Amino acid sequence: MRGSPAIDRVIASLKRLPGIGDKSASRLAFFLLGAPDSLVADLADALSRLKQETVMCADCFNLGDRTPCPICSDDRRDDSLLCVVEEPADLSAIEKSGSFKGRYHVLGGTLSPIDGMGPGELRIGELERRVRSGGIREVILATNPNAEGDATAHYIGDRLRPAGVLVSRIAYGMPLGGDLEYADHVTVGRSLENRRKFSD
Amino acid sequence: MAAIGNRTRDRVRAPLDDVPALVLRTVEFGEADLIVHLLTPTRGRVTAMAKHARKSVRRFPGSLDLFNHLEVKIHPRRRGGMPLLDRARLLSPFLALRDDAARYGLACYVMELLSRLAPEEGVGPEMRGIFHFALEVLEALEHSRPDERMRVLVELRALDALGMRPELRNCVRCGREVEGPSVHFHVADGGVICRRCSRDEELPLRAHLGTLRALEQGLRFPLAELSRLALSGQSLAEAHAIVARFQRYHVGLELRSERFLNQILRSSGGAGPTPAA
């Protein structure tokens, strides 16, 4: 018993969030207790609007305030390129790069059988339908280069094979600002395998 | 008794220096940390915190990924918190497991089974056996695509490594070797029963003696050579029924990865085995 049911309730609610344990929940609750009223009110307002005002785009499954989302309704983008990402945050990361002007498809996760995530839990069927509906020349699989992301990319690649579109995978290799000395041997090996011509 | 307790506690608290480990699972924690579930040959399942693992490209470069075979250094915490993963050197990433849904599915299934059943912070020679079984499965899957037969045999080997091997030769009631051609397998009693010990009201699984001999062989074969072991469609169905029902009864776990594995093996290799009568 901490003495205040209100504090206990906030701590109990915060503890239900991923990555928040007892100590973090207590720290956040006591921070909020000592914070200006405006900050707490803003947070409460933002949280209450979060679910009400966020919608999923019916085309790409990105999250935003309308459907179709601004990317799907932008007719300057290339309809023939489709980039497949795990989550909306990955879409944002690619958008920030400014290097891609095609369309997106958000899977909603990766194949992770240990977490109960199979093909039925991802938007793979919707992806197949989009590809089959025509107009797509290339599907770029931009899932993360880890075990789950690679396995998902291979699975989707197999599923899309009958559709006859070009399926590509984002490149593996050294990160910008990386250091060969500290890189693992798989990354170094893949960097060499995926090397490109430096000059003509 | 107290002395033994202290020794065990000291051992558990001791750091792990450059020991081999397999990554069973990782869970994101906070902004940049990872909780890593590892299987080691000296201490069984170990859970450690890898600080800043998701942001630093130097500290754990490409190493904390599912199935990875590592050499790790783990430090205990003074006040009994989760141990810290200090260093992880990648020995093998088993990349072929990512290229094929059946390999990936069976590897995930084995990792989940071990992450639920391998003793945590355990001691004893059986830890080494569990670790070597896991390593051998991943190595075998790197080189061959699994089918239902391999899945059944890997499940049986997993039970064996975890100390839950069904009795396949001698009657679990009287100890006599059972005779064929048809034999009874009693799931609750954990093995075969001879005709003399079999009671009318019981409904044991029926299997051919040849199926049991094939399963025994499967326990002895190197995992990489399991594909050489022949099992007819009838034998596979009987073996599947014995192993699956034994596991369900004695392990009592419903593994989340089983659904995916069933789906993938059935779609890639035709219908799975039908339950034996």
Q: Is the pLDDT of residue A150 over 90?
A: yes
Is B9 contained in some domain? no
Check if A183 contacts B (Cβ < 8 Å). Answer: yes
Question: Residue A83 pairs with which residues in a beta bridge?
Answer: A104, A140
Please report the pLDDT score of residue B276 as a whole number.
41
CA B107/CA B138 separation, integer angstroms: 7
Q: Are residues B148 and B186 in the same domain?
A: yes
Smallest Cα distance from A81 to chain B, Å: 24
Q: Do B260 and B218 fall into the same domain?
A: no
**pLDDT > 90: what percent of chain B?**
64
Mean pLDDT of B57-86: 87
The angle at the Cα of A31, spanning A30 to A32, to the nearest 5 degrees, equals: 90
ipTM of model = 0.85
B104 chain-A contacts, CB cut-off 8 A: 111, 113, 147, 151
- The boundaries of the domain holding residue B59 are 14-131+256-270
A65, A45, A47: which is closest to A56 by C-alpha? A65
Chain B nearest-CA distance from A113, in A, is: 4
Whole-number Å distance between alpha carbons of B252 and B261: 18
B32 and B84 in a single domain? The answer is yes
Kindly determine whether residue B63 and residue A179, on different chains, have CB atoms separated by under 8 Å: no
Of A112, A115, A182, the CB nearest to B61: A182
Question: Is residue B125 located within the same domain as residue B41?
Answer: yes
Residue B276 located in a structural domain = no
Q: Which pTM value belongs to this model?
A: 0.86
Query: Coil, helix or strand for B47?
Result: strand
Same domain, B47 and B153: no
Residues on chain B bordering chain A, Cβ-to-Cβ distance under 8 angstroms: 25, 28-31, 57-58, 61-63, 65-67, 90, 93, 95, 97-101, 104-105, 108-109, 111-112, 115, 256-257, 259-261, 263
The predicted-structure confidence for A151-182, as pLDDT tens digits, reads as follows 999 999 999 999 999 999 999 888 888 888 88
Residue A94 has pLDDT above 70, yes or no: yes
Domains identified in chain B, total number: 2
Q: Same domain for B81 and B214?
A: no
Task: Look at residue B12 in the predicted model and tell me its pLDDT.
Answer: 52
For Cα atoms B134, B135, B141, give the angle at the middle one, nearest 5 degrees: 90
B216 shares its domain with B205: yes
Give the rounded distance of the alpha carbon of A78 from its chain centre. 21
Contacts of B97 in chain A (CB under 8 A): 147, 151
The half-sphere exposure of B211 on its side-chain side, counting CA atoms within 13 A, is: 25
- Establish if B125 belongs to a structural domain: yes
Span B69-81, mean pLDDT? 86
Q: Hey, which residues does A104 pair with through a beta bridge?
A: A83
Residue B273: half-sphere exposure toward Cβ, Cα within 13 Å: 23
Q: Do B67 and B105 share a domain, yes or no?
A: yes
**Domain-embedded: residue B2:** no
pLDDT digit string, tens, across residues A105-124? 999 999 999 999 999 999 99
User: Residues B78, B142: one domain?
Assistant: no
- Asked if the model's pLDDT at residue B274 lies above 50, the reply is no
Same domain, B164 and B57: no
pLDDT band at residue B4, thresholds of 50, 70 and 90? very low
Identify whether residues B40 and B85 lie together within a single domain: yes
Nearest chain A CA: its distance from B196 CA (Å): 44
Q: Please, what sign has the CA dihedral across residues A17, A22, A27, A30?
A: positive
Whether A119 and chain B come into contact, CB under 8 Å, resolves to: yes
Same domain, B137 and B148: yes
Give residue A200's pLDDT.
62
Q: Mean pLDDT across chain B, nearest whole number?
A: 87
Q: Is residue B37 part of a domain?
A: yes
Mean pLDDT of A47-75: 94
Chain A residue with the nearest C-alpha to that of B96? A151
Does A104 reach chain B within 8 Å, measured CB to CB?
no
Q: For residue B5, is it within any domain?
A: no
State the DSSP string of B78-142: TTS-PPEEEEEEEEE--GGGGS-HHHHHHHHHHHHHHHHHSPBT--SHHHHHHHHHHHHHHHHHH
Q: What is the pLDDT of residues B236-255, one digit of tens each?
A: 999 999 999 999 999 888 89
CA-closest candidate to residue A64, choices A23, A104, A24: A104
* CB spacing of A111 vs B101 below 8 angstroms: yes
Residue A1 has pLDDT above 50, yes or no: no
Please, what are the domains in chain A? 12-52 (1.10.8.420), 76-169 (3.40.1360.10), 172-200 (no CATH)
Task: Identify whether B51 is part of a domain.
Answer: yes
**For residue A179, which residues of chain B lie inside 8 Å, CB to CB?**
58
CATH of the domain at B219: 1.20.1440.120
The B182-186 sheet, strands edge to edge: B191-193, B182-186, B205-208
Domain containing B85 — which CATH number? 2.40.50.140
